[in-house]
Structure 1
Amino acid sequence: MANKAVLFYGLESIAEAGITDVGMIVGDTAAEIEEAVGDGSKFGLKVTYIPQERPLGLAHAVLIAQDYLGDDDFVMYLGDNFIVGGITDLVDEFRGSRPDAQILLTRVADPRAFGVAELDPSGQVIGLEEKPEQPKSDLALVGVYLFTPVIHEAVRAIEPSWRGELEITHAIQHLIDSRADVRSTVIKGYWKDTGNVGDMLEVNRTVLEAMERRIDGAVDDASETIGRVVVEEGARIVNSRIVGPVVIGAGTLVSDSYVGPFTSIAENCRITDSELEFSIVLRDSSIRGVGRIESSLIGRHVEVTPAPSVPSAHRLVLGDHSKVQITS
């Protein structure tokens, strides 16, 4: 998002909340994550990697992290979540009152795609359901949870769901059934689970809207930059029009092109004789001679070029007494 991994925003929020030790659950992409995050020192954190053999559920992640967590209170933060404003206030609230568990909720239009909380009239959590067909509220679980060590007994007590996973909603429900103190906070700010391309583009838009204009790279006299445009050091804009909010990464060349609002282009890319808008382009990719790209996510080391021209022709197999109209 705006040329920074979603995971990094989460790690920065954790550090801002005064947390220093992070156990990171990793799976098949462990090598890539370790390369990107390292020991965590660039975020002011000390990161320990905890391998999970396969995705067996969020409660399973807590289960395998028990030795690391010991008897400490902890935050569980899902790495693909984006929360404007961070979690500092939430952590401070938890430290002050220290319930057995505290969950973060937000109102959504279609709760069926989320874990859903049911509250009593006083606001106490009385039930949780995972992706219910008939939700009892519009309050969806945000991917941030705060727990005391009592959660460890709960994750050991539950059985796998029909998906074969140990669900964190089931573990929290176990706490509720055991009359533990489970509290909730309903957030009113922006939150997104970046689980699909549409969500990623929306978060990218939100982040870009908060940027300030900054031109550290080279923009030639034949080019025009309008509005909140960030051109990182080492980037070059040649004979092009850039309409913000846009961020152009270091070492990227944009030439003879148009880059429109809500677009982030990462480092060492090449955009030539093309038009691009409301899109994300990851590092070391190139787009050459493409008339228009929008609402797109383009990964690393990707090449996008025009398709070879082919003769225009119609190929028909028509039965008897057919009538066909063809627009040339």
Structure 2
Amino acid sequence: MKALVLSGGAGTRLRPITHTSAKQLVPVANKAVLFYGLESIAAAGITEVGVIVGDTAREIQDAVGDGSAFGLNVTYIPQERPLGLAHAVLVARDWLGDDDFVMYLGDNFIVGGISGVVDAFRRTRPDAQILLTRVKDPRPFGVAELDPDGRVVGLEEKPRHPKSDLALVGVYLFTPVIHDAVREVTPSWRGELEITHALQHLIDAHADVRSTVIEGYWKDTGNVADMLEVNRTVLEGLTRRIDGEVDERSQTVGRVVVEEGARIVNSRIVGPAVVGSGTVVEDSYVGPFTSIAENCHVADSELEFSIVLRDSSIHGVGRIESSLIGRHVEVTPAPSVPSAHRLVLGDHSKVQIHT
């Protein structure tokens, strides 16, 4: 069995972060979201992995390499444009051959991994297996309709009027019959080749398409709010570890990780929180559910429920919370201009200003 990992896509909902970085490499608890998926695939006993890449191919390749760090053998498969999940299967056809495979969306996060569902698929080998979870608002997702016996009878991609609250999780398992189905797919109203249409083709042809409703935690980390929520979930599982330097005027409370090479000076860190190697926190407070990546500098500030990417600095700005701060960012106090805001923002930014 092989794995096809999708790591293309523009990541428009995470702009401006994704103007300069692949969305799959935004870190959760100081580890790229994509790495959690690769670790789950390896834990399921799959070693041959094809990674679909697009405009951020070089960055993905530099981060993942040949896959040996994860116990995997990785092949990169270029996709010129992100034209849908079914299109990704089409461009990977030669590499997939006639093997069964799991398709894993690289920006998805599933607590507990996929070993159980992969083992069940290997034993029973239906034509296709989908994972579902109940969500409050299914409109942004692929949505499944089940009959009273739990069989999949219909699938829609991002429906305006969903027929159920069962959203497709970004993990699919297929036998080679999917290849005939994706060749029958035509572009949707979004201009993409939807995997839900290929699955519907299998259903209409009376293929064996099964579903599993998962009860565990799942998130599509496509926007800032979900990214922060996943970060919170992962940090809750931290084991306290202080490998860096914490001076006598500082305090670390609870599940705090201070990586080797980090320094905490006259500061209070309340877990769960992680401070990356080479980072200096001084005269500051770092509160729960915060991840600060490597080589950052936080001084005379308060930070809580936030993610700070590498090589950034936060100096003298009071309290920051519920924030995602990119790489090589400088956050400093604004000049003392009465009743004015001074902003330098990238394209597609969103700003909330308290007035």
Q: TM-score, normalised by structure 1?
A: 0.94
Q: Bigger CA drift: 73-82 or 120-129? A: 120-129
**Identical residues among aligned pairs (%):** 84
SS in 1 for 2:318: coil
Match of 2:267 among 225, 240, 256: 240
SS in 2 for 1:113: coil
Instruction: Name the structure 1 match of 2:38.
Output: 11
Amino acid at match of 1:58: L
Structure 1: gaps (5+ residues): 314-328
Instruction: Name the structure 2 match of 1:266.
Output: 293
Instruction: Name the structure 1 match of 2:92.
Output: 65
Match of 1:280 among 307, 318, 338: 307
What is the 5 A alignment of 1:218-257?
Answer: 218-257=245-284
From the superposition, tell whether residues 165 and 241 of structure 1 become closer, same or farther in structure 2 (CA, over 3 Å).
same
Using the alignment, how far apart are the partners of 1:290 and 1:43 within structure 2?
39
Instruction: Name the structure 2 match of 1:33.
Output: 60
What is the 5 A alignment of 1:1-328?
Answer: 1-311=28-338
Using the alignment, how far apart are the partners of 1:53 and 1:119 within structure 2?
35
Aligned residues: 313
Using the alignment, how far apart are the partners of 1:167 and 1:246 within structure 2?
39
SS in 2 for 1:15: helix
SS in 1 for 2:143: strand
Using the alignment, how far apart are the partners of 1:27 and 1:126 within structure 2?
33
Runs of 4+ with deviation above 4 angstroms? none
Using the alignment, how far apart are the partners of 1:13 and 1:176 within structure 2?
28
Using the alignment, how far apart are the partners of 1:112 and 1:265 within structure 2?
33
Instruction: Name the structure 1 match of 2:351.
Output: none
Using the alignment, how far apart are the partners of 2:310 and 2:339 within structure 1?
36
SS in 2 for 1:86: coil
Q: Bigger CA drift: 100-109 or 129-138? A: 129-138
Using the alignment, how far apart are the partners of 1:266 and 1:290 within structure 2?
19
- Per-residue deviation, residues 177-201 of structure 1 (Å, max 9, x unmatched): 1110000000000000001000000
Amino acid at match of 2:157: E
Amino acid at match of 1:286: S
Using the alignment, how far apart are the partners of 2:214 and 2:251 within structure 1?
40
Pick the structure with greater CA Rg: 1
- Per-residue deviation, residues 216-235 of structure 1 (Å, max 9, x unmatched): 10000000111110000110
Amino acid at match of 1:152: H
- Per-residue deviation, residues 232-261 of structure 1 (Å, max 9, x unmatched): 011000000111100000110000000000
Q: TM-score, normalised by structure 2?
A: 0.87
SS in 2 for 1:289: strand
Using the alignment, how far apart are the partners of 1:200 and 1:307 within structure 2?
27
Deviation at 1:163, TM superposition (A): 1.1
Deviation at 1:310, TM superposition (A): 2.2
Using the alignment, how far apart are the partners of 1:121 and 1:283 within structure 2?
50
SS in 1 for 2:203: helix
SS in 1 for 2:295: coil
Deviation at 1:312, TM superposition (A): 5.8
Instruction: Name the structure 1 match of 2:18.
Output: none
Deviation at 1:171, TM superposition (A): 0.3
Amino acid at match of 1:180: A
Amino acid at match of 2:201: H
Using the alignment, how far apart are the partners of 2:282 and 2:329 within structure 1?
18
